[in-house]
Amino acid sequence: MTLDIRRLWSDTPPLTAQQKAQILDLYQRPMTLFQDSGRAYQIGFNTALTYFGYLIEKETESHNDD
* 28 lies in some domain: yes
Contacts of 16 (CB under 8 A, 6+ apart): none
**Which one, of 3, 5, 2, lies nearest residue 54 by Cα?**
5
What domain range includes position 32?
A: 3-60
Q: How far is the CA of 40 from the CAs of 6, 14, 27, 37, 44, in angstroms? A: 20, 26, 11, 8, 6
What average pLDDT score do residues 1-6 get? 85
User: pLDDT at position 37, please?
Assistant: 64
pLDDT digits (tens, 9 = 90+) for 8-52: 999 999 999 999 999 998 888 777 776 766 677 888 888 999 999
What average pLDDT score do residues 54-66 get? 67
Overall domain count for the chain? 1
pTM over the 0.85 mark: no
* 10 lies in some domain: yes
